[in-house]
Amino acid sequence: MGSNTEVPPPPWRKARAQVRKQLSQELIVDTGLRVLDAEGFDALSMRRVAQELGTGPASLYAHVAGKDELLELIYDRVLGEIRLPDPDPARWQEQIRAYAIEAQRVLTSHADVARAAMASIPSGPNSLRVAEYVLGLLIGAGLTPRDASLGLDRLSLYVSSDAYEGSVHYARMKAAGMSGPGEYFTQFIGSLARYFGSLPADRFPYISANVDALIADDGEARFLYGLDLIIAGLAAKLP
């Protein structure tokens, strides 16, 4: 009958040390993004990242100052996924629209990473790359530097806020154990429509009379509507 006891290596064979990945800022950021994607913004912590890396939190501080800096680095890493075509100021409206759609796509593909943009002014290399692109398009189109700067700020906030709102609904969907966004939004919109329809018409005549219009468009249509309003407003600032 065989034994399950492990056979030791012969004395002339060198024992192999367990190989551990060398800590670096890049590895910590990659791991933090993986945790955020899988578990969400609130689950991300230096301790949680250290656990994933098989080390203690103290060892991370040689590379990252703390959670706030980690979030900034993660957000900047995500912005690096945004694809930017060569700028053409003659087509600035089309390119600004395409950029915003691309940025929203990237942000919504990473859980609630958009929350990281709400707490600070992004200033990493990828954030600067995006800002330089948008600012160049707007100034190249003829906007004053002030209008271009304000336009960049408001456009960035709009994209981030829309992505964050979507992540909130996604978290609620997961918490409710629903199979997908279709099921969630069907229930959510249905309950919203019933509530609007139940409001007293004498106090809320416009809401109660326009329930169908209020719930008619999906998230994508609403995002594009708001985006086109911003672009039209910027165009109106041209001399």
- Structural domains in the chain, CATH included, are 25-64 (1.10.10.60), 83-236 (1.10.357.10)
Q: Which own/partner contact pairs does 184-188 have at CB distance under 8 Å and 24+ positions apart?
A: 185/218, 185/219
Question: Could you tell me the sign of the dihedral formed by the alpha carbons of 213, 215, 218, 220, in that order?
Answer: positive
Query: What one-letter code names the amino acid at 185?
Result: F
Residue 170's closest CA among 155, 184, 151?
A: 184
Residue 45 has what pLDDT? 94
What's the whole-number mean pLDDT along residues 118-135?
88
88-102, 117-131, 162-176, 208-222: which is most confident? 88-102
With a cut of 50, say whether residue 19 has pLDDT above it: no
Judged against a pLDDT cut of 60, whether residue 20 lies above it is answered with no
pTM of this structure: 0.82
Q: What is the model's pLDDT at position 95? A: 98
- Tell me the CA distances in angstroms from 113 to 13, 33, 97, 110, 139, one per residue in order: 48, 9, 21, 6, 29
Cα distance between residue 101 and residue 120, in whole Å: 22
Neighbours of 73 (CB within 10 A): 21
Residue 106 CA to residue 124 CA, distance in Å, equals 17
Average pLDDT, the chain: 88
Share of the chain above pLDDT 70, in %: 84
* Residue 40 φ/ψ region, left for φ over 0, alpha for ψ in the -120 to 50 degree band, beta for the rest: left
Query: Is pLDDT above 50 for 17?
Result: no
The three-class DSSP label of residue 105 is helix
Please compute the mean of the pLDDT values over residues 69-75 and round it to a whole number. 93
The pLDDT of residue 31: 96
User: What is the predicted pLDDT for the residue at 210?
Assistant: 96
Of the ranges 100-104, 128-132, 191-195, which one carries the lowest mean pLDDT score?
191-195
Nearest CA among 166, 142, 154 for reference residue 229: 154
Mean pLDDT on 196-215: 95
What is the structure's pLDDT at 180? 58
